[in-house]
């Protein structure tokens, strides 16, 4: 099943993936992309958490949802849509993320675009000594940050309401986050911040820390 993937990462790394579990916080646009792109790479478990329900304005960029899903739980619906590989158990959790959650995972993805939630995820990950990745999109710009030991507080900024989002940018940033996560899960994790700007020509900047 994973033959084409093994050609790239090797059998030993594929075995590593089979022992790994991840948590995705937020099942909106970015959460849809991250969950979909890692749903069939051979992980042991994927936890999805979101407190929200699906609305009409979500559908244009939250690709797993349709009008038939309006009013349904985002985490439960996404769980059903990506549950296509018997090797991986997908678990939907409804509610707000709590840094005291009693779950064992090897990596956390933040797909909330919420600064306060990111601080809680940072505390959760530091307590468990695991890496975490945040992704954010606003208009034609996006960021992906990979954290292990560095505190997220070094990026402290004023919280603000996120403006519009374009589906291709959500797809692009979510995919960068997914690929960064795969690298972490096979032991190639590096703390880095990617800044992507597509307001004119595509520009990608990388900052190591």
Residue 173 has pLDDT above 60, yes or no: yes
Coil vs helix vs strand at 191: coil
Coil vs helix vs strand at 65: coil
Task: Show the domain range for 168.
Answer: 3-208
Q: What percent of the chain has pLDDT over 90?
A: 87
Q: Count Cα atoms within 13 angstroms, Cβ side, for 44.
A: 13
Residue 122 has pLDDT above 80, yes or no: yes
Give how many domains the chain has, as a whole number: 1
Q: What are phi and psi of 15, to 5 degrees?
A: -65, -40
Segment among 77-91, 119-133, 149-163 with least mean pLDDT:
149-163
* pLDDT given at position 156: 59
Structure tokens at 42: 């051979």
Average pLDDT, the chain: 94
Instruction: Tell me the pLDDT tens digit for each residue of 145-166.
Output: 999 998 887 765 555 566 788 9
What CATH number did the domain enclosing 130 receive? 3.40.50.720
Query: Distance between CA 201 and CA 199 in Å, rounded?
Result: 7
Q: Please state the pTM of the whole predicted model.
A: 0.95
């Amino acid at each position: 099943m994973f033959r084409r993937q093994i050609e790239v990462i090797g059998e030993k790394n594929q075995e590593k993936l089979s022992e790994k579990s991840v948590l995705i916080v937020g099942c909106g646009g970015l959460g849809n992309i991250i969950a979909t792109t890692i749903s069939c790479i051979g992980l042991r478990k994927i936890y999805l958490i979101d407190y929200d329900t699906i609305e009409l304005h979500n559908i244009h960029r939250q690709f797993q949802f349709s009008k038939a899903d309006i009013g349904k739980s985002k985490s439960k619906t996404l769980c059903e849509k990506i549950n296509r590989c018997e090797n991986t158990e997908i678990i939907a959790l409804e509610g707000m993320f709590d840094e005291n959650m009693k779950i064992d995972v090897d990596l956390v993805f933040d797909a909330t675009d919420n600064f306060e939630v990111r601080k809680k995820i940072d505390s959760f990950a530091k307590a468990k000594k695991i890496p975490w990745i945040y992704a954010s999109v606003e208009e034609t710009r996006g960021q992906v940050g990979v954290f292990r030991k560095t505190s997220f507080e070094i990026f402290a900024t004023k919280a603000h309401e996120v403006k519009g989002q374009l589906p291709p940018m959500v797809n692009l940033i979510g995919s960068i986050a997914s690929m960064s996560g795969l690298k972490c899960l096979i032991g190639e994790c590096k703390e880095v911040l990617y800044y992507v700007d597509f307001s004119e020509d595509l520009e990608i900047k990388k900052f190591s820390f």
